[in-house]
Amino acid sequence: MTTTDTIAQAKWDVMSANHILAREGVLDGYGHVSMRHPDNPAHFLLSRSRSPELVSVEDIMEFTLDGDTVGNDDRPPYLERFIHGAIYKARPDVISVVHSHQEDVIPYSISSVALQPVWHQAACIGNHVPVWDIRDKFGDTNLLVTNNAQGTDLAAALGRDKVALMRGHGFAVAGNHLQDAVSTAIYLPKNARILTTAKLLGGSVKISTPGEVELAGPVHPEQPAFQRGWEYWLTRAGLKKL
């Protein structure tokens, strides 16, 4: 593929990820998904400030890891683009980031009860899901991540983990490819619902072991089993593989 083809494919992938996450109820009018630029690891691709369900290929903008627009693109960007840039800066292994406000996850961001993996499909969330509280360092805010200092603090709390919860706000997923970030963002709220329901039953709850998470966790986009699920999500979002 030529560079132009690679960028066109990447923009299509980001557009399709927006539509899938909207269709699956992970993103509503808010939240976003980005991808590291395929030819320049110091840049990333993210839509202009638009509802994910409506994002088109033409809406995808290019940013530096500091969240500055590349070129003369003066369309309004998302206020919280610093989440993405700061994670890409801290984690060279990360290729795609999702930020969501999905509400089934929020109780675990405000409670002392940890969000832990309990379902085989959600092993991709990892053994440890840290909670970042913007208040710890920045005091009273509107809870949005609107500058690099806040993004950097969130990325530090994420550490080497796959998912960080954001207290009273949402979560950030860091994937080593776009499909990894999208599927993890889809399975994270489902795992939260399962865990909450199991706890409400009142008995003891079995958590997936680190060994199970290690075996079931990695997402392999090239494998037929994953492709089956990806085609399902694309179809539900009204898309056909490019």
Which residues lie near Mn ion (CB under 5 A)?
80
Q: Do 180 and 98 touch, CB atoms closer than 8 A?
A: no
Q: What is the DSSP letter of 196?
A: H
The minimum distance between CB 31 and Mn ion, in angstroms, equals 6
Which stretches of the chain are assigned E, i.e. beta strand? 32-36, 43-47, 60-64, 96-100, 131-132, 163-166, 170-175
Given a contact cutoff of 8 angstroms between Cβ atoms, the answer to whether 107 and 115 are in contact is: no
Say if residues 58 and 27 touch (Cβ distance below 8 Å): no
For the bound state, the minimum distance from the C-beta of residue 75 to Mn ion, rounded and expressed in Å, comes to 19
Is the Cβ of residue 116 or residue 150 nearer to Mn ion in the bound state? Answer: 150
Residue (127 or 132) nearer to Mn ion, CB: 132
Radius of gyration in angstroms for the set of CA atoms belonging to the chain, rounded to a whole number:
17
Q: Judge whether 53 counts as a catalytic residue.
A: no
Tokens found for residue 220: 């392999």
Nearer to Mn ion, 10 or 97 (CB): 97
Minimum Å gap between C-beta 12 and Mn ion is 25
> Which amino acid, 173?
V
Number of H helices, E strands in the chain: 8, 7
Q: Give the whole-angstrom CA distance, residue 16 versus residue 21.
A: 9
- Nearest distance from C-beta of residue 173 to Mn ion, angstroms: 13
* Cβ proximity to Mn ion, 80 vs 153, nearer residue: 80
Kindly name the residue from 24, 58, 80, 103 that is annotated as catalytic. 80
> Mind telling me the catalytic residues?
80
